């Protein structure tokens, strides 16, 4: 009897110890659990993946995400190993918004710069930009010089190597209209500017965009004001050095029209990895057609060979490259 009790106790003790064992500084049972969401912001700064805002899909109805949290990715990890979230919600001053976009900026590359979005509560945020200092762990609303442009949503911010953010297109919050102009924000001196609209792509939202090694930005797909998803047989290049646009015809296995997709630069610097999205009339894309690569020298599309179970296609997600992995964060 005593032996049994002792065995039981030892087992229980081991179990408790297991549950309390810290992995990356957090115990599994005490770990913070993010709610489901889409149209949020997800940005990597100094080995931390910060996530906030978007639509909270756990609660049902149209509810804004109030959580703010990060994943510590400094420890080595793989796809089988659990990683734990760290909660920063008590520090959050950003009201629940959808269609926000965020980049890493500031003089030392350690400020989370959040732009745009639409309110999901009666509190409408007039602030265009919120900045989170990841060293001081505090948000503030920066004072920005230059002309203030009307707040936009559902666009993808891209930052260059000089801390300048490029904000193309999106939907104007006040007039509910789609635009195709390029505004810029210097995140070091906090100054607005305007890029070129000559030969710009047509007005669009929820496109994929990423910075290429030659400091050009590539823009892919998106949706227009008629709720149509746009074709990927051409892509658009914004040259940040000369502030001009060009259009490239693509070839190969051209993906079907899609919006709510993501684009990231592959580690070889030669391929853009395009993932997810919704088809025309909100058609769900087959998992087998959810991931493509575009060679940025030949503009030829391919479907890479992938092993393992292909997850169902996500849309209105965010993607980041962390080490060797492309993290597609929550639907
Ligand atoms: C992140 O993880 C690393 C490695 O496990 C650890 O040394 C570090 O303290 C963690 N940092 C934070 C802020 O959680
Ligand atoms: C956002 O705020 C405006 C006014 O501040 C309000 O009219 C609108 O209904 C709000 N939107 C939502 C979804 O609550
Ligand atoms: C910020 O990061 C970019 C690369 O993303 C780099 O080119 C630049 O030198 C960095 N700036 C500073 C001040 O570290
Ligand atoms: C697009 O879809 C939205 C939401 O479903 C709807 O309110 C709007 O009327 C649609 N617009 C057009 C032009 O079909
Ligand atoms: C962009 O500007 C540069 C420098 O003026 C020029 O060489 C290049 O041809 C221009 N590209 C386009 C597409 O106009």
Instruction: Report the alpha-carbon distance of residue 172 to residue 153 in Å, rounded.
Output: 7
pLDDT digits (tens, 9 = 90+) for 261-298: 999 999 999 999 999 999 998 999 999 999 999 999 99
Q: How far is the CA of 239 from the centre of ligand 5 (A)?
A: 8
98 lines ligand 2 (CB under 6 A): no
Query: Which protein residues touch ligand 4 with a CB less than 6 Å away?
Result: 226-227
Measuring CA to CA, which residue among 271, 154, 171 is closest to residue 207?
Answer: 154
Instruction: Domain of residue 117: give its range.
Output: 2-329
Query: Which protein residues touch ligand 5 with a CB less than 6 Å away?
Result: 239, 242, 244, 246
**Structure tokens of 298?**
């030949």
Q: How far is the CA of 244 from the centre of ligand 5 (A)?
A: 6
Ligand nearest to the CA of 120: 2
Instruction: Report the alpha-carbon distance of residue 227 to residue 283 in Å, rounded.
Output: 12
pLDDT digits (tens, 9 = 90+) for 22-36: 444 555 555 788 888
Tell me what pLDDT residue 78 has.
Answer: 65
H or E element at residue 114? strand 111-115
- Report the CATH number at residue 92: 2.120.10.80
Q: How many domains does the chain divide into? A: 1
Residue to mutate, 105, 106, 111, 161, ligand 3, most ligand atoms under 8 Å from C-beta: 161
Contacts of 287 (CB under 8 A, 6+ apart): 310, 311, 312, 313
Which residue has its alpha carbon closest to ligand 1 atom 14?
Answer: 72
Task: Give me the percent of the chain exceeding a pLDDT of 70.
Answer: 86
161 lines ligand 3 (CB under 6 A): yes
pLDDT digits (tens, 9 = 90+) for 171-193: 997 777 999 999 999 999 999 99
Q: How far is the CA of 110 from the centre of ligand 5 (A)?
A: 33
Ligand nearest to the CA of 121: 2
Contacts of 102 (CB under 8 A, 6+ apart): 41, 42, 43, 50, 52, 112, 113, 114, 115, 157
**Structure tokens of 47?**
């080995």
């Amino acid at each position: 009897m005593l032996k049994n009790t002792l065995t039981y106790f030892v087992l229980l003790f081991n179990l408790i110890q297991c549950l309390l064992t810290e992995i990356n500084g957090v115990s599994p049972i005490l770990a913070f659990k993010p709610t489901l969401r889409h149209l949020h912001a997800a940005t990597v700064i100094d080995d931390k993946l910060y996530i906030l805002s978007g639509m909270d899909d756990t609660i049902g109805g149209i509810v804004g995400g109030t959580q703010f949290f990060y994943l510590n990715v400094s420890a080595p990890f793989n796809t089988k190993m659990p990683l734990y979230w760290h909660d920063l919600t008590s520090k959050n001053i950003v009201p629940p918004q959808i269609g926000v976009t965020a980049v890493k900026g500031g003089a030392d590359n350690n400020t989370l710069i959040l732009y745009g979005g639409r309110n999901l509560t009666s509190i409408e945020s007039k602030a265009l930009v919120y900045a989170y200092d990841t060293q001081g762990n505090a948000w503030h609303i920066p004072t920005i010089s230059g002309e203030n442009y009307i707040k936009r949503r559902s666009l993808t911010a891209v930052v260059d190597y000089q801390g300048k953010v490029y904000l193309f297109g999106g939907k104007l919050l006040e007039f509910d209209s789609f635009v195709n102009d390029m505004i810029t924000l210097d995140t070091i001196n906090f100054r607005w500017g305007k890029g070129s609209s000559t030969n710009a792509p047509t007005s669009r939202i929820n496109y994929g965009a990423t910075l290429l090694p030659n400091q050009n930005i590539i823009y892919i797909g998106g949706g227009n004001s008629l709720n149509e998803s746009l074709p990927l047989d051409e892509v658009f290049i914004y040259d940040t050095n000369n502030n001009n646009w060009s259009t490239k015809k693509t070839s190969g296995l051209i993906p079907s029209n899609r919006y709510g997709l993501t684009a990231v630069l592959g580690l070889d610097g030669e391929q853009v990895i395009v993932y997810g999205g919704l088809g025309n009339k909100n058609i769900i894309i087959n998992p087998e057609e959810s991931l493509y690569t575009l060679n940025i020298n030949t503009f030829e599309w391919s479907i890479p060979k992938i092993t393992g179970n292909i997850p169902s296609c996500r849309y209105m997600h965010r993607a980041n490259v962390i080490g060797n992995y492309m993290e597609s964060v929550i639907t």
